[in-house]
Amino acid sequence: MFQTEIPLQETLKSPIQTLKPKFRSIHKTQNDEELSENIENSEHQLELFRSLTTKNVINVIRVQTVNDRWIGIQLRDPYVTCGWLLSEVIRKFSQLDLNYDPFDIVGFKTNNIHLDYQLSCLHLLLPNLNGVLLVPQIRKGLKEPMNIDWFEIIKKIGAGSFSVVYLVRNKENGQFYAMKVTDKQLMVESDKEELIIKERQLLIQLNHKRIITLQAAFQSKSKLYFIFDYCPGGELYYHLRNQKRFSEEQAKWIFIQIVDAIQYLHSKNIIYRDLKPENILIDLDGYPKLVDFGLSKPVENQEDLNFSFCGSLEYMAPEMIELKGHNYTLDYYQLGILLYEMVAGIPPFFAKTRQEMIKNILSKQINYPNFFSKNLVDLISNLCNKNSSQRLCGKKILQHPWLQGFIRKMPIKYKIDSFHIDKLFINQLNQNIESGPRCIVEEYNLQTMAQSVKDEDWCSFEKFQTFYYKKQ
């Protein structure tokens, strides 16, 4: 490798200096001063130099072994996956004398949450890891039943009327999830105990690519926990607000995905009843997923009338406001409102006051912008017909002229290295889940109103005793 007549230190000086900003040592982390002092006789530098000058090696990924020591994983192909890196690290570590089983490595940690998430998605291509030291995450071997100790709380990412949502990482498998936390006392105060029990039972039944997957559900003395797949793209509402409005082609592709999810729910005799951009999340691949089934209604017959008053006013159908009874056609009305908002940027009956909005929904016809195509106007008009018996529903929607011809796949584009969440949560520090704000109202009031639950109060939550669920 080296000509014997040239002193080794002279051979090393030039290439090592150029490599210094990206790599330090193949076995030990050093700062710049240490590197300069030891460069003359460093076996570590020689090993690094040999690694990088080996034929076809385009990068060396640093992975920590014990304490401040690390080894290098040679990268010869720029198109390898994160799964390849994990398997290669396990293979390499199997040759070392460690105080843990290398097969217990389930992922990696860095100083960047977004990078950690990408590395946990084993099918993704390996991101740029120049200068990054990877610390293996070791399976903890926690005991059943699942509880809050199974999860590392990373960041608060949202809040709703009755819950707060956190980004968490499972200590057992290294995967990222969204953890929805609901306060039991708040449920009791609001007389919503039955709703959340039904939501859990409903979510267990669902298995569709456009509907969020429930991975687990468990409880503590004061809280109920739902563990869902994490959708890094955030809410559709976030992207619509930033982009102002979608093109018809973009809206058409998203609309088709949501129709698919709604019709799946109807095939299970479930009315969704809460369709809006805030309840549509964007998954890793840019596809939409329905979330939040707290207002969903299982029915024996889709035609049966229900007389609940629920949901967001902008999306309420006339029959719900007038309490005349609603059925599955309510979801198709909300589909029409969603489609209008995606293309126009604002719901069709939006007004400054609730009274004016209710008046618009009950008596006014939709006013369409001039950039709406004729077929789009016709589709929305048929979906949002104030007479529920005359609405366009079911498979007839897909036969509408606006949806004919080639529909280009147009996933939502977003940056995976940043959060796509409300500014309210961007810089929030992690709070104690058991005593933190219980819902969005308390977030805005910046008050902590959660009540601690004493042992003797446990009996008041008997309805939640069978809440535990773990996906097999």
Known binding residues are 180
The backbone region for 253, taken as left when phi is positive above 0, alpha when psi lies in -120 to 50, beta otherwise, is alpha
183 as an active site residue: the answer is: no
Torsion of CA 43, 49, 53, 59, to 10 degrees: 120
Instruction: Indicate the annotated binding residues for ATP.
Output: 180
Q: Of residues 97, 104, 229, 274, which has the active-site annotation?
A: 274
- How many Å apart are CA 178 and CA 281, to the nearest integer? 11
- How many Å apart are CA 233 and CA 420, to the nearest integer? 6
CA separation (Å) from 306 to 271, 298, 323, 325, 329? 10, 11, 9, 5, 11
Using DSSP bridges, classify how beta strands 270-271 and 297-298 pair: parallel, antiparallel or unpaired: antiparallel
Q: Which residues are catalytic, by number? A: 274
